[in-house]
Chain A
Amino acid sequence: MSPGLAYVVVRCHAMRAELIDPETMRSLAEARDMEEFLGLLSQTQYKEIVGEAGEGVSAVALERAFYQKLIERLDRVVRVAPKGMAEFLRAFYYMRLEVQNLKRILRGKSSETSTERIKKHLIPVAPYLSVDFDDLVGAKTMADAVNLLGRTVYAPIKESLGLWEKYDALWPLEARLNQIYVESVQGSLSKISSEDREMVRQIVEVETYVEDMLSAINWTRMAGEQPSLPPLESVFPLKYGTSLRTIKELIEGRDHGDVVKGLGAPYAEIVEPIIVDDVALVRTNLRRHAYEVARDGRARDDFGFPCVMSYLVSCDVERGDLVSIAWGKEHELESRKILKYTVLPGYAP
Protein backbone atom coordinates (compact mmCIF):
# COMPACT_ATOMS: atom_id res chain seq x y z
CA MET A 1 0.00 0.00 0.00
CA SER A 2 1.28 3.44 -0.90
CA PRO A 3 2.19 5.75 1.99
CA GLY A 4 0.14 8.56 0.38
CA LEU A 5 0.63 11.95 -1.25
CA ALA A 6 2.09 13.69 1.81
CA TYR A 7 4.92 11.17 2.01
CA VAL A 8 5.91 11.41 -1.65
CA VAL A 9 5.80 15.22 -1.45
CA VAL A 10 8.08 15.21 1.60
CA ARG A 11 10.43 12.76 -0.20
CA CYS A 12 10.53 15.03 -3.25
CA HIS A 13 11.29 18.07 -1.07
CA ALA A 14 14.14 16.14 0.54
CA MET A 15 15.51 14.76 -2.73
CA ARG A 16 15.41 18.20 -4.32
CA ALA A 17 18.51 19.01 -2.24
CA GLU A 18 20.41 16.40 -4.31
CA LEU A 19 19.77 18.26 -7.56
CA ILE A 20 22.51 20.33 -9.13
CA ASP A 21 21.68 24.03 -8.74
CA PRO A 22 21.88 26.37 -11.76
CA GLU A 23 25.05 28.04 -10.50
CA THR A 24 26.91 24.72 -10.22
CA MET A 25 25.59 23.67 -13.63
CA ARG A 26 27.00 26.90 -15.08
CA SER A 27 30.38 26.15 -13.46
CA LEU A 28 30.27 22.66 -15.01
CA ALA A 29 29.48 24.13 -18.43
CA GLU A 30 32.30 26.65 -18.04
CA ALA A 31 34.87 24.03 -16.94
CA ARG A 32 38.11 24.30 -18.90
CA ASP A 33 38.14 20.65 -19.98
CA MET A 34 36.78 17.18 -19.29
CA GLU A 35 39.12 16.72 -16.34
CA GLU A 36 37.89 19.87 -14.61
CA PHE A 37 34.28 18.93 -15.46
CA LEU A 38 34.71 15.50 -13.83
CA GLY A 39 36.43 17.12 -10.85
CA LEU A 40 33.51 19.50 -10.31
CA LEU A 41 30.98 16.73 -10.92
CA SER A 42 32.63 14.57 -8.25
CA GLN A 43 31.69 17.26 -5.71
CA THR A 44 27.98 16.64 -6.45
CA GLN A 45 25.63 13.67 -6.05
CA TYR A 46 27.35 12.16 -9.09
CA LYS A 47 30.62 11.49 -7.27
CA GLU A 48 29.98 7.71 -7.31
CA ILE A 49 29.46 7.77 -11.07
CA VAL A 50 32.67 9.73 -11.60
CA GLY A 51 34.54 7.38 -9.24
CA GLU A 52 33.28 4.25 -11.02
CA ALA A 53 33.91 5.67 -14.46
CA GLY A 54 37.49 6.65 -13.66
CA GLU A 55 39.77 8.73 -15.86
CA GLY A 56 39.32 8.76 -19.63
CA VAL A 57 35.59 8.10 -19.42
CA SER A 58 33.66 8.77 -22.63
CA ALA A 59 30.61 11.04 -22.99
CA VAL A 60 28.61 8.00 -24.17
CA ALA A 61 29.39 6.11 -20.93
CA LEU A 62 28.52 9.21 -18.90
CA GLU A 63 25.22 9.60 -20.77
CA ARG A 64 24.33 6.04 -19.79
CA ALA A 65 25.23 6.77 -16.17
CA PHE A 66 23.17 9.98 -16.16
CA TYR A 67 20.19 8.01 -17.48
CA GLN A 68 20.70 5.41 -14.75
CA LYS A 69 20.65 8.18 -12.15
CA LEU A 70 17.42 9.59 -13.63
CA ILE A 71 15.76 6.16 -13.61
CA GLU A 72 16.94 5.56 -10.04
CA ARG A 73 15.37 8.87 -8.93
CA LEU A 74 12.20 8.08 -10.88
CA ASP A 75 11.96 4.65 -9.21
CA ARG A 76 12.33 6.21 -5.79
CA VAL A 77 9.39 8.54 -6.46
CA VAL A 78 7.12 6.05 -8.26
CA ARG A 79 7.62 3.44 -5.51
CA VAL A 80 6.12 5.70 -2.84
CA ALA A 81 3.62 7.64 -4.96
CA PRO A 82 -0.15 7.06 -4.56
CA LYS A 83 -1.47 4.45 -7.05
CA GLY A 84 -3.07 6.82 -9.55
CA MET A 85 -0.11 9.20 -9.58
CA ALA A 86 2.33 6.29 -9.92
CA GLU A 87 0.37 4.95 -12.91
CA PHE A 88 0.47 8.37 -14.54
CA LEU A 89 4.20 8.85 -13.87
CA ARG A 90 4.97 5.40 -15.30
CA ALA A 91 3.03 6.23 -18.46
CA PHE A 92 4.67 9.65 -18.70
CA TYR A 93 8.31 8.72 -17.99
CA TYR A 94 8.83 4.96 -18.37
CA MET A 95 6.84 4.83 -21.57
CA ARG A 96 8.72 7.85 -22.96
CA LEU A 97 12.03 6.10 -22.32
CA GLU A 98 10.66 2.84 -23.68
CA VAL A 99 9.44 4.51 -26.88
CA GLN A 100 12.91 6.00 -27.34
CA ASN A 101 14.40 2.51 -26.99
CA LEU A 102 11.87 1.04 -29.41
CA LYS A 103 12.77 3.67 -31.99
CA ARG A 104 16.45 2.86 -31.56
CA ILE A 105 15.82 -0.88 -31.93
CA LEU A 106 13.68 -0.40 -35.05
CA ARG A 107 16.32 1.89 -36.60
CA GLY A 108 18.93 -0.78 -35.98
CA LYS A 109 16.70 -3.52 -37.41
CA SER A 110 15.89 -1.45 -40.51
CA SER A 111 19.58 -1.11 -41.34
CA GLU A 112 20.53 -4.61 -40.15
CA THR A 113 22.85 -3.19 -37.50
CA SER A 114 24.55 -5.72 -35.22
CA THR A 115 22.77 -6.54 -31.95
CA GLU A 116 25.77 -5.29 -29.91
CA ARG A 117 25.64 -1.92 -31.62
CA ILE A 118 21.87 -1.60 -31.11
CA LYS A 119 22.22 -2.50 -27.42
CA LYS A 120 24.98 0.09 -27.03
CA HIS A 121 22.49 2.82 -27.95
CA LEU A 122 19.70 1.70 -25.62
CA ILE A 123 18.67 3.61 -22.50
CA PRO A 124 19.28 1.37 -19.45
CA VAL A 125 15.60 1.05 -18.53
CA ALA A 126 13.57 -2.12 -17.98
CA PRO A 127 10.70 -2.78 -20.43
CA TYR A 128 7.46 -1.17 -19.29
CA LEU A 129 4.65 -2.09 -21.69
CA SER A 130 6.75 -3.65 -24.39
CA VAL A 131 8.23 -7.14 -24.69
CA ASP A 132 11.77 -7.80 -23.53
CA PHE A 133 14.26 -5.54 -25.33
CA ASP A 134 16.65 -8.48 -25.80
CA ASP A 135 13.96 -10.38 -27.73
CA LEU A 136 13.30 -7.34 -29.91
CA VAL A 137 16.99 -6.71 -30.55
CA GLY A 138 17.41 -10.42 -31.34
CA ALA A 139 14.56 -10.41 -33.91
CA LYS A 140 15.83 -11.48 -37.33
CA THR A 141 14.12 -8.77 -39.38
CA MET A 142 12.29 -5.50 -38.94
CA ALA A 143 8.97 -7.27 -39.64
CA ASP A 144 9.74 -9.83 -36.92
CA ALA A 145 10.45 -7.03 -34.42
CA VAL A 146 7.20 -5.24 -35.34
CA ASN A 147 5.29 -8.54 -35.06
CA LEU A 148 6.68 -9.04 -31.56
CA LEU A 149 5.26 -5.61 -30.68
CA GLY A 150 1.91 -6.74 -32.09
CA ARG A 151 1.18 -8.47 -28.79
CA THR A 152 1.63 -5.26 -26.78
CA VAL A 153 0.09 -1.83 -26.46
CA TYR A 154 2.24 -0.87 -29.45
CA ALA A 155 0.24 -3.16 -31.78
CA PRO A 156 -1.01 -0.24 -34.00
CA ILE A 157 2.58 0.15 -35.26
CA LYS A 158 1.89 -2.85 -37.54
CA GLU A 159 -0.37 -0.59 -39.61
CA SER A 160 2.65 1.60 -40.42
CA LEU A 161 4.84 -1.29 -41.56
CA GLY A 162 3.42 -1.00 -45.08
CA LEU A 163 4.50 2.67 -45.27
CA TRP A 164 8.01 1.70 -44.11
CA GLU A 165 8.22 -0.91 -46.87
CA LYS A 166 6.77 1.43 -49.48
CA TYR A 167 8.96 4.47 -48.77
CA ASP A 168 11.95 2.79 -47.13
CA ALA A 169 11.56 5.45 -44.41
CA LEU A 170 11.40 5.19 -40.64
CA TRP A 171 9.27 8.25 -39.98
CA PRO A 172 5.88 6.47 -40.34
CA LEU A 173 6.87 4.00 -37.60
CA GLU A 174 8.35 6.68 -35.34
CA ALA A 175 5.33 8.95 -35.82
CA ARG A 176 3.07 6.03 -34.87
CA LEU A 177 5.08 5.32 -31.72
CA ASN A 178 4.84 9.01 -30.75
CA GLN A 179 1.10 8.85 -31.28
CA ILE A 180 0.74 5.75 -29.10
CA TYR A 181 2.77 7.46 -26.36
CA VAL A 182 0.71 10.66 -26.44
CA GLU A 183 -2.56 8.71 -26.42
CA SER A 184 -1.35 6.68 -23.47
CA VAL A 185 -0.39 9.83 -21.53
CA GLN A 186 -3.75 11.37 -22.39
CA GLY A 187 -5.46 8.21 -21.16
CA SER A 188 -3.54 8.19 -17.89
CA LEU A 189 -4.40 11.85 -17.18
CA SER A 190 -7.63 10.57 -15.64
CA LYS A 191 -5.48 9.13 -12.82
CA ILE A 192 -4.61 12.62 -11.55
CA SER A 193 -6.81 15.48 -10.41
CA SER A 194 -8.28 17.92 -12.92
CA GLU A 195 -6.15 20.83 -11.57
CA ASP A 196 -2.97 18.83 -12.09
CA ARG A 197 -3.97 17.75 -15.59
CA GLU A 198 -3.60 21.30 -16.85
CA MET A 199 0.07 21.40 -15.90
CA VAL A 200 0.78 18.09 -17.63
CA ARG A 201 -1.18 19.20 -20.70
CA GLN A 202 0.91 22.37 -20.91
CA ILE A 203 4.02 20.23 -21.09
CA VAL A 204 2.83 17.35 -23.30
CA GLU A 205 0.64 19.41 -25.62
CA VAL A 206 3.35 21.96 -26.38
CA GLU A 207 5.94 19.26 -26.86
CA THR A 208 3.74 17.20 -29.18
CA TYR A 209 2.69 20.24 -31.16
CA VAL A 210 6.26 21.44 -31.62
CA GLU A 211 7.54 17.95 -32.51
CA ASP A 212 4.74 17.63 -35.09
CA MET A 213 5.80 20.97 -36.56
CA LEU A 214 9.41 19.80 -36.79
CA SER A 215 8.28 16.56 -38.44
CA ALA A 216 6.19 18.59 -40.90
CA ILE A 217 9.20 20.69 -41.86
CA ASN A 218 11.23 17.51 -42.27
CA TRP A 219 8.33 16.16 -44.33
CA THR A 220 8.37 19.11 -46.73
CA ARG A 221 12.04 18.45 -47.37
CA MET A 222 11.36 14.77 -48.02
CA ALA A 223 8.37 15.57 -50.22
CA GLY A 224 10.76 17.01 -52.82
CA GLU A 225 12.29 13.55 -53.15
CA GLN A 226 9.07 11.56 -52.75
CA PRO A 227 6.13 13.37 -54.35
CA SER A 228 3.69 10.50 -53.71
CA LEU A 229 3.67 10.70 -49.91
CA PRO A 230 0.60 9.37 -48.09
CA PRO A 231 -2.20 11.71 -46.92
CA LEU A 232 -1.21 14.10 -44.17
CA GLU A 233 -3.85 12.90 -41.69
CA SER A 234 -2.52 9.34 -41.79
CA VAL A 235 0.85 10.45 -40.44
CA PHE A 236 -0.24 13.32 -38.19
CA PRO A 237 -3.44 11.89 -36.74
CA LEU A 238 -4.49 15.16 -35.12
CA LYS A 239 -3.12 14.64 -31.62
CA TYR A 240 -4.22 18.09 -30.52
CA GLY A 241 -6.92 20.27 -32.01
CA THR A 242 -4.94 23.10 -33.54
CA SER A 243 -1.82 21.41 -34.84
CA LEU A 244 -3.01 20.10 -38.20
CA ARG A 245 -3.74 23.55 -39.65
CA THR A 246 -0.22 24.80 -38.87
CA ILE A 247 1.28 21.59 -40.18
CA LYS A 248 -0.71 21.95 -43.41
CA GLU A 249 0.56 25.51 -43.79
CA LEU A 250 4.13 24.37 -43.30
CA ILE A 251 3.76 21.50 -45.75
CA GLU A 252 2.10 23.73 -48.32
CA GLY A 253 5.24 25.83 -48.24
CA ARG A 254 4.19 28.93 -46.33
CA ASP A 255 7.15 30.92 -45.07
CA HIS A 256 8.34 29.51 -41.73
CA GLY A 257 8.73 33.02 -40.30
CA ASP A 258 5.07 33.90 -41.04
CA VAL A 259 3.83 30.61 -39.59
CA VAL A 260 5.90 31.07 -36.41
CA LYS A 261 4.67 34.65 -35.89
CA GLY A 262 1.08 33.49 -36.17
CA LEU A 263 1.45 30.83 -33.47
CA GLY A 264 1.24 33.02 -30.37
CA ALA A 265 2.61 32.25 -26.89
CA PRO A 266 4.30 30.03 -25.86
CA TYR A 267 4.82 28.40 -29.28
CA ALA A 268 6.22 31.41 -31.13
CA GLU A 269 9.03 31.86 -28.61
CA ILE A 270 9.89 28.15 -28.52
CA VAL A 271 9.84 27.65 -32.27
CA GLU A 272 11.47 30.95 -33.26
CA PRO A 273 14.96 29.42 -33.85
CA ILE A 274 13.49 27.36 -36.70
CA ILE A 275 13.57 30.55 -38.78
CA VAL A 276 17.38 30.41 -38.65
CA ASP A 277 17.34 26.59 -39.02
CA ASP A 278 18.45 25.94 -35.42
CA VAL A 279 16.33 22.90 -34.54
CA ALA A 280 18.54 22.01 -31.58
CA LEU A 281 17.67 25.32 -29.92
CA VAL A 282 13.95 24.59 -30.44
CA ARG A 283 14.44 21.39 -28.42
CA THR A 284 16.35 23.29 -25.72
CA ASN A 285 13.49 25.80 -25.60
CA LEU A 286 11.05 22.91 -25.21
CA ARG A 287 12.98 21.59 -22.20
CA ARG A 288 13.12 25.13 -20.79
CA HIS A 289 9.36 25.45 -21.28
CA ALA A 290 8.74 22.17 -19.39
CA TYR A 291 11.06 23.33 -16.60
CA GLU A 292 9.25 26.67 -16.27
CA VAL A 293 5.77 25.11 -16.37
CA ALA A 294 6.85 22.67 -13.61
CA ARG A 295 8.43 25.51 -11.62
CA ASP A 296 5.30 27.68 -11.93
CA GLY A 297 3.15 24.70 -10.92
CA ARG A 298 5.27 24.20 -7.85
CA ALA A 299 5.01 27.89 -7.00
CA ARG A 300 1.22 27.49 -7.02
CA ASP A 301 1.14 24.26 -5.02
CA ASP A 302 4.30 23.06 -3.31
CA PHE A 303 2.55 20.29 -1.37
CA GLY A 304 0.82 18.28 -4.08
CA PHE A 305 1.34 16.70 -7.50
CA PRO A 306 3.08 19.83 -8.97
CA CYS A 307 5.87 19.41 -6.41
CA VAL A 308 6.44 15.78 -7.54
CA MET A 309 6.18 16.64 -11.24
CA SER A 310 8.50 19.62 -10.82
CA TYR A 311 11.11 17.40 -9.13
CA LEU A 312 11.00 14.82 -11.94
CA VAL A 313 11.07 17.46 -14.68
CA SER A 314 14.10 19.03 -12.95
CA CYS A 315 15.80 15.60 -12.83
CA ASP A 316 15.25 15.16 -16.57
CA VAL A 317 16.44 18.68 -17.38
CA GLU A 318 19.54 18.06 -15.23
CA ARG A 319 20.24 14.83 -17.12
CA GLY A 320 19.87 16.58 -20.48
CA ASP A 321 22.20 19.40 -19.47
CA LEU A 322 24.82 17.03 -18.08
CA VAL A 323 24.78 14.94 -21.28
CA SER A 324 25.28 18.08 -23.39
CA ILE A 325 28.07 19.39 -21.17
CA ALA A 326 29.88 16.03 -21.03
CA TRP A 327 29.79 15.68 -24.82
CA GLY A 328 30.83 19.31 -25.27
CA LYS A 329 33.78 18.92 -22.91
CA GLU A 330 34.86 15.68 -24.58
CA HIS A 331 34.94 17.50 -27.90
CA GLU A 332 36.53 20.65 -26.47
CA LEU A 333 33.64 22.92 -27.48
CA GLU A 334 33.55 26.51 -26.34
CA SER A 335 31.51 27.03 -23.16
CA ARG A 336 29.44 29.63 -25.01
CA LYS A 337 28.22 26.97 -27.44
CA ILE A 338 27.41 24.52 -24.63
CA LEU A 339 25.58 27.17 -22.62
CA LYS A 340 23.39 27.95 -25.63
CA TYR A 341 21.96 24.41 -25.61
CA THR A 342 21.58 23.89 -21.87
CA VAL A 343 18.69 24.99 -19.65
CA LEU A 344 19.77 25.24 -16.02
CA PRO A 345 22.80 27.56 -16.39
CA GLY A 346 20.37 30.20 -17.73
CA TYR A 347 18.80 30.43 -14.27
CA ALA A 348 22.10 31.05 -12.45
CA PRO A 349 22.19 34.41 -10.64
Chain B
Amino acid sequence: MSSLSGVRPTKGFLIELKRRISFIERGCEFLKLKRDQLAKELSASIEVLRGRRGTLEDQLNRIYDLVVSAYLSLGPAEVGSQASSIRKELAIDVLPVSVMGVLYPRIRVRSKPRVEGRLDIALSRAAELASGIMEELIQIAEFEARVERIADELGKTNRKVNALENIVIPDYKQTMKFIEDKLDEEALEELVRIKLIGGALARRRE
Protein backbone atom coordinates (compact mmCIF):
# COMPACT_ATOMS: atom_id res chain seq x y z
CA MET B 1 0.00 0.00 0.00
CA SER B 2 1.60 3.19 -1.20
CA SER B 3 0.16 5.37 1.59
CA LEU B 4 1.85 3.13 4.10
CA SER B 5 5.26 3.21 2.51
CA GLY B 6 7.73 5.11 4.68
CA VAL B 7 5.55 4.67 7.76
CA ARG B 8 7.56 4.02 10.88
CA PRO B 9 5.57 1.62 13.05
CA THR B 10 6.66 3.13 16.32
CA LYS B 11 4.74 4.25 19.34
CA GLY B 12 6.08 7.81 18.95
CA PHE B 13 4.85 7.94 15.37
CA LEU B 14 1.45 6.58 16.45
CA ILE B 15 1.13 9.27 19.11
CA GLU B 16 2.07 11.93 16.50
CA LEU B 17 -0.49 10.47 14.09
CA LYS B 18 -3.21 10.53 16.76
CA ARG B 19 -2.40 14.19 17.47
CA ARG B 20 -2.57 14.97 13.78
CA ILE B 21 -5.86 13.17 13.17
CA SER B 22 -7.48 14.89 16.09
CA PHE B 23 -6.36 18.23 14.61
CA ILE B 24 -7.65 17.25 11.14
CA GLU B 25 -11.00 16.11 12.54
CA ARG B 26 -11.36 19.40 14.40
CA GLY B 27 -10.49 21.28 11.18
CA CYS B 28 -13.02 19.20 9.28
CA GLU B 29 -15.69 20.12 11.82
CA PHE B 30 -14.85 23.81 11.37
CA LEU B 31 -15.00 23.44 7.58
CA LYS B 32 -18.42 21.77 7.91
CA LEU B 33 -19.61 24.69 10.00
CA LYS B 34 -18.22 27.11 7.40
CA ARG B 35 -19.91 25.12 4.62
CA ASP B 36 -23.27 25.25 6.38
CA GLN B 37 -22.92 28.97 7.03
CA LEU B 38 -21.92 29.65 3.41
CA ALA B 39 -24.86 27.56 2.15
CA LYS B 40 -27.18 29.59 4.38
CA GLU B 41 -25.69 32.89 3.11
CA LEU B 42 -25.94 31.67 -0.48
CA SER B 43 -29.58 30.64 -0.30
CA ALA B 44 -30.51 33.92 1.43
CA SER B 45 -28.65 35.95 -1.23
CA ILE B 46 -30.24 33.95 -4.07
CA GLU B 47 -33.70 34.58 -2.59
CA VAL B 48 -33.04 38.34 -2.46
CA LEU B 49 -31.53 38.32 -5.94
CA ARG B 50 -34.44 36.42 -7.45
CA GLY B 51 -37.03 38.84 -6.07
CA ARG B 52 -35.18 42.02 -6.94
CA ARG B 53 -34.04 40.88 -10.38
CA GLY B 54 -37.59 40.22 -11.56
CA THR B 55 -38.74 43.73 -10.64
CA LEU B 56 -35.59 45.27 -12.07
CA GLU B 57 -35.89 43.42 -15.37
CA ASP B 58 -39.42 44.81 -15.84
CA GLN B 59 -38.13 48.33 -15.22
CA LEU B 60 -35.14 47.83 -17.55
CA ASN B 61 -37.47 46.59 -20.31
CA ARG B 62 -39.57 49.74 -19.84
CA ILE B 63 -36.44 51.94 -20.05
CA TYR B 64 -35.24 50.06 -23.14
CA ASP B 65 -38.62 50.61 -24.83
CA LEU B 66 -38.48 54.34 -24.05
CA VAL B 67 -34.93 54.68 -25.37
CA VAL B 68 -35.78 52.74 -28.55
CA SER B 69 -38.83 54.89 -29.23
CA ALA B 70 -36.76 58.05 -28.57
CA TYR B 71 -34.20 56.89 -31.13
CA LEU B 72 -36.97 56.10 -33.62
CA SER B 73 -38.62 59.49 -33.23
CA LEU B 74 -35.61 61.79 -32.75
CA GLY B 75 -32.92 59.98 -34.73
CA PRO B 76 -29.49 58.79 -33.54
CA ALA B 77 -27.68 62.16 -33.92
CA GLU B 78 -30.22 64.05 -31.79
CA VAL B 79 -30.23 61.35 -29.11
CA GLY B 80 -26.41 61.29 -29.17
CA SER B 81 -26.31 65.07 -28.84
CA GLN B 82 -28.72 65.08 -25.90
CA ALA B 83 -26.89 62.26 -24.17
CA SER B 84 -23.61 64.16 -24.49
CA SER B 85 -25.14 67.11 -22.63
CA ILE B 86 -25.11 65.19 -19.36
CA ARG B 87 -22.05 66.51 -17.60
CA LYS B 88 -21.82 64.83 -14.23
CA GLU B 89 -20.98 61.17 -14.42
CA LEU B 90 -21.59 58.29 -12.08
CA ALA B 91 -18.89 58.07 -9.38
CA ILE B 92 -18.61 55.03 -7.11
CA ASP B 93 -16.36 53.63 -4.39
CA VAL B 94 -15.69 49.90 -4.35
CA LEU B 95 -14.84 48.53 -0.89
CA PRO B 96 -14.01 44.92 0.06
CA VAL B 97 -16.32 43.19 2.58
CA SER B 98 -15.73 39.73 4.10
CA VAL B 99 -18.27 36.98 4.86
CA MET B 100 -16.65 33.87 6.46
CA GLY B 101 -13.38 34.91 4.85
CA VAL B 102 -14.95 35.41 1.41
CA LEU B 103 -14.19 38.86 0.03
CA TYR B 104 -16.81 40.55 -2.15
CA PRO B 105 -17.17 44.16 -3.35
CA ARG B 106 -19.43 46.64 -1.57
CA ILE B 107 -20.25 49.54 -3.91
CA ARG B 108 -21.03 53.00 -2.58
CA VAL B 109 -22.45 55.63 -4.96
CA ARG B 110 -20.61 58.93 -4.49
CA SER B 111 -22.53 60.91 -7.12
CA LYS B 112 -25.14 60.21 -9.76
CA PRO B 113 -25.43 61.88 -13.19
CA ARG B 114 -27.75 64.88 -13.13
CA VAL B 115 -30.31 64.50 -15.91
CA GLU B 116 -32.93 67.07 -14.89
CA GLY B 117 -33.29 69.97 -17.31
CA ARG B 118 -30.86 68.55 -19.85
CA LEU B 119 -32.94 66.13 -21.89
CA ASP B 120 -35.98 66.23 -24.12
CA ILE B 121 -39.12 64.68 -22.61
CA ALA B 122 -38.72 61.57 -24.81
CA LEU B 123 -35.39 60.80 -23.17
CA SER B 124 -35.84 62.39 -19.76
CA ARG B 125 -38.43 59.79 -18.71
CA ALA B 126 -36.02 56.97 -19.59
CA ALA B 127 -33.16 58.81 -17.87
CA GLU B 128 -35.27 59.44 -14.74
CA LEU B 129 -36.26 55.78 -14.55
CA ALA B 130 -32.66 54.69 -15.14
CA SER B 131 -31.43 57.12 -12.51
CA GLY B 132 -34.09 55.84 -10.09
CA ILE B 133 -32.97 52.23 -10.41
CA MET B 134 -29.25 52.94 -10.62
CA GLU B 135 -28.60 52.19 -6.94
CA GLU B 136 -30.80 49.11 -7.13
CA LEU B 137 -28.87 47.99 -10.22
CA ILE B 138 -25.57 48.46 -8.41
CA GLN B 139 -26.90 46.53 -5.41
CA ILE B 140 -27.93 43.69 -7.72
CA ALA B 141 -24.45 43.67 -9.24
CA GLU B 142 -23.04 43.59 -5.70
CA PHE B 143 -25.31 40.66 -4.77
CA GLU B 144 -24.40 38.83 -7.96
CA ALA B 145 -20.70 39.21 -7.18
CA ARG B 146 -21.40 38.07 -3.62
CA VAL B 147 -23.40 35.02 -4.76
CA GLU B 148 -20.72 34.12 -7.31
CA ARG B 149 -17.89 34.31 -4.78
CA ILE B 150 -19.81 32.55 -1.99
CA ALA B 151 -20.79 29.77 -4.41
CA ASP B 152 -17.18 29.44 -5.48
CA GLU B 153 -15.98 29.28 -1.88
CA LEU B 154 -18.78 26.85 -0.98
CA GLY B 155 -17.65 24.53 -3.77
CA LYS B 156 -14.05 24.71 -2.56
CA THR B 157 -15.04 24.11 1.09
CA ASN B 158 -17.24 21.18 0.08
CA ARG B 159 -14.39 19.62 -1.86
CA LYS B 160 -12.08 20.10 1.14
CA VAL B 161 -14.60 18.50 3.54
CA ASN B 162 -15.17 15.57 1.17
CA ALA B 163 -11.43 15.09 0.70
CA LEU B 164 -10.85 15.12 4.46
CA GLU B 165 -13.83 12.86 5.27
CA ASN B 166 -13.36 10.37 2.47
CA ILE B 167 -9.62 10.34 1.79
CA VAL B 168 -7.36 12.01 4.36
CA ILE B 169 -9.01 10.84 7.59
CA PRO B 170 -9.60 7.21 6.39
CA ASP B 171 -5.96 7.12 5.20
CA TYR B 172 -4.71 8.29 8.56
CA LYS B 173 -6.98 5.83 10.34
CA GLN B 174 -5.69 3.02 8.13
CA THR B 175 -2.10 4.01 8.87
CA MET B 176 -2.87 4.15 12.58
CA LYS B 177 -4.49 0.73 12.40
CA PHE B 178 -1.45 -0.58 10.52
CA ILE B 179 0.92 0.80 13.18
CA GLU B 180 -1.29 -0.47 16.01
CA ASP B 181 -1.43 -3.92 14.39
CA LYS B 182 2.31 -3.87 13.85
CA LEU B 183 2.92 -2.76 17.45
CA ASP B 184 0.50 -5.42 18.74
CA GLU B 185 2.27 -8.01 16.60
CA GLU B 186 5.65 -6.86 17.89
CA ALA B 187 4.34 -6.91 21.48
CA LEU B 188 3.04 -10.44 20.95
CA GLU B 189 6.34 -11.51 19.41
CA GLU B 190 8.13 -9.95 22.38
CA LEU B 191 5.83 -11.77 24.78
CA VAL B 192 6.37 -15.09 23.02
CA ARG B 193 10.12 -14.46 22.96
CA ILE B 194 10.14 -13.65 26.72
CA LYS B 195 8.05 -16.74 27.38
CA LEU B 196 10.42 -18.87 25.34
CA ILE B 197 13.52 -17.38 27.00
CA GLY B 198 11.85 -17.69 30.41
CA GLY B 199 11.05 -21.38 29.64
CA ALA B 200 14.62 -22.05 28.46
CA LEU B 201 16.12 -20.39 31.53
CA ALA B 202 13.77 -22.41 33.74
CA ARG B 203 14.72 -25.64 32.00
CA ARG B 204 18.45 -24.82 32.39
CA ARG B 205 17.98 -24.18 36.12
CA GLU B 206 16.32 -27.58 36.55
Contact = CB atoms under 8 A, between A and B. Distances in A.
Interface of A: 59-60, 63-64, 100, 103-104, 107-108, 110-113, 117-118, 120-123, 167-171, 214-215, 217-218, 221-222, 225-226, 277-281, 283-284, 320, 323-324, 327-328, 331, 333, 337-338, 341-342
Given A121-B80, A323-B76, A338-B72, 16 more contacts: A60-B77, A60-B80, A63-B77, A100-B78, A107-B81, A108-B85, A111-B87, A112-B87, A113-B85, A120-B77, A168-B114, A169-B117, A278-B69, A279-B69, A327-B72, A327-B76
Contacts of B69: 278-281, 341
Interface string B61-100: 0000010111111111110111011110000000000000
Contacts of A280: 69-70, 72-74, 122
Given A107-B84, A221-B128, A279-B125, A341 B117 contact: no
A221 B132 CA distance: 13
Given A60-B77, A169-B117, A279-B125, A110 B72 contact: no
B121 A215 contact: yes
Interface in B100-128: 114, 116-118, 120-122, 124-125, 128
Interface in B122-152: 122, 124-125, 128
Contact of B75 (A281, A327, A337): A327
A107 B82 contact: yes
Nearest to B125: A277
A221 B78 CA distance: 21
A170 B77 contact: no
Contacts of B75: 63, 320, 323-324, 327
Interface of B: 66, 68-78, 80-82, 84-87, 114, 116-118, 120-122, 124-125, 128
A64 B77 CA distance: 9
Nearest to A217: B121
If over half of A's interface residues share one DSSP class (helix, strand or loop), that class is named, otherwise mixed; here it is helix
Q: Which of B71, B87, B117 has the most CB of A within 10 A?
A: B117
Given A218-B124, A279-B122, A111 B117 contact: no
A37 B53 CA distance: 37
Contacts of A214: 120-121
A324 B124 contact: no
B120 A110 contact: no
Closest 7 interchain pairs by CB?
Answer: A169-B117, A280-B69, A280-B73, A107-B85, A341-B72, A121-B81, A218-B121
B77 A123 contact: yes
B85 A337 contact: no
Contacts of A283: 73-74, 122
A94 to B, nearest CB: 18
Contacts of A113: 84-85
Nearest to A337: B68
A222 B84 contact: no
A218 B86 CA distance: 16
A169 B68 contact: no
B116 A169 contact: yes
Given A107-B82, A108-B85, A222-B116, A279 B121 contact: yes
Contacts of B114: 168
A227 B74 CA distance: 29
Contacts of B120: 214, 218
A25 B76 CA distance: 19
9 contacts: A64-B77, A107-B84, A107-B118, A111-B85, A121-B77, A170-B118, A277-B66, A279-B69, A279-B125
Given A110-B87, A283-B74, A333-B68, A168 B117 contact: yes
A239 B69 CA distance: 28
A98 to B, nearest CB: 14
